[in-house]
Amino acid sequence: MSFIRKIKRGEKIYYAEVENRWINGKCVQKHIRSLGTDPDRPTNLPIEPVHFSYLAVRLMQGDLTPNEVFDMLEGMGHPVTRDSLERIGINYDFGKKTFYIYLFYQKNSKKSATDAPSVKKDSTSKKQTKE
């Protein structure tokens, strides 16, 4: 049975789906997949070859929409958050012969454009002196 493990790396916290098994009298943990920094919004999802071909054709036609990607992933049983999707990446692992889709969401800016310091104010407030 798999579960989600919290992994601390420096100041960031990452989540991964792992599974424990007993091998030769010892508990061995097997890494199944990475969930990124938010387990509710996984960014790395395995897909089937049939779905890969569908995505590739739709990408080449230029008709792929984020809603189609979300519908396909939910139909495969992967719960995803319907948020503003910026781009996707499709990868093939030659060793495992598996396909993965990576979801890249738009990042929320903590500062708005009105809170940003003005360039003119900063450049005129500091005077350069020659020595």
Residues 74 and 103 in one domain: yes
- H or E element in which residue 125 lies: helix 119-125
Give buried/exposed letters for 26-41 (b at 16+ CB in 10 A, else e): eeeeeeeeebbeeeee
The reported pLDDT for the residue numbered 6 is: 92
Residue 89 lies in a domain: yes
**Are 105 and 85 contacting, i.e. CB atoms less than 8 angstroms apart?**
yes
pLDDT tens for 48-96 read 888 888 888 888 898 888 888 888 888 888 777 777 788 888 888 899 8
Residues 44 and 100 in one domain: yes
- Sheet bearing 12-23, strands edge to edge: 2-9, 12-23, 26-36
Residues 58 and 86 in one domain: yes
d(CA 83, CA 42): 12
pTM: 0.55
pLDDT tens for 31-48 read 888 877 877 777 778 888
Specify the number of domains making up the chain: 2
The reported pLDDT for the residue numbered 8 is: 94
Encoding tokens for residue 54? 């569908």
The reported pLDDT for the residue numbered 128 is: 54
The reported pLDDT for the residue numbered 117 is: 43
Q: Which domain holds residue 23?
A: 1-35
